[in-house]
């Protein structure tokens, strides 16, 4: 009985670890996406400003202002905000306890999340702009 419980716990931990790593790899894939911003696009300055920002709160404020008009919840940032808050706590704890490596890791993860959120917001703006152009064509 003890061995089967042990195997179950190890298997559950492995599945959870796999799910977390899969989610994180998806974040990295989207965060590393290169957005082509055309100079003749009227929104190019806004896109570039969002993509170049290093402030997570600013990106989230853009996301709150720019609602998703496509109707699906693709690109929701609620789990990302929760992970960012967790990392902020890890960074503060690392700084307070003297764990410089943990604080630096949290800082790098927070930068990746900022890049991810900026990419999602720009994709949302591009979709909204395409939908607006489609509506204007009628």
pLDDT at 73: 62
pLDDT mean over 22-41: 83
Q: Give the integer Cα–Cα distance in Å for 60 and 122.
A: 12
CB neighbourhood size of 116 (10 A)? 25
When pLDDT is cut at 50, 70 and 90, the band that residue 75 belongs to is low
Whole-structure pTM value: 0.82
Is pLDDT at 121 greater than 70 in this prediction? yes
Contact 111, 51 (CB under 8 A): no
Token pair for 14: 């492995």
Q: Give the integer Cα–Cα distance in Å for 115 and 111.
A: 6
Mean pLDDT, the chain, whole residue set: 87
Segment 97-113, tens digit of pLDDT: 888 899 999 999 999 99
Q: Give the integer Cα–Cα distance in Å for 81 and 49.
A: 20
């Amino acid at each position: 009985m003890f061995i089967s419980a042990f195997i179950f716990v190890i298997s559950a931990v492995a599945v959870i670890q796999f799910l977390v790593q899969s989610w994180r790899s998806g974040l990295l894939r989207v965060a590393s996406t290169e957005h082509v911003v055309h100079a003749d696009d009227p929104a190019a300055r806004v896109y570039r400003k969002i993509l170049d920002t290093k402030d997570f709160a600013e990106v989230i404020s853009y996301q709150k202002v720019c609602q998703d008009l496509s109707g699906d919840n693709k690109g929701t940032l609620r789990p990302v905000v929760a992970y960012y808050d967790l990392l902020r706590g890890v960074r503060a704890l690392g700084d307070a306890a003297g764990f410089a490596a943990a604080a630096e890791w949290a800082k790098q993860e927070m930068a990746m999340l900022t890049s991810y959120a900026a990419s999602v917001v720009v994709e949302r703006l591009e979709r909204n702009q395409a939908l607006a152009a489609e509506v204007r064509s009628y």
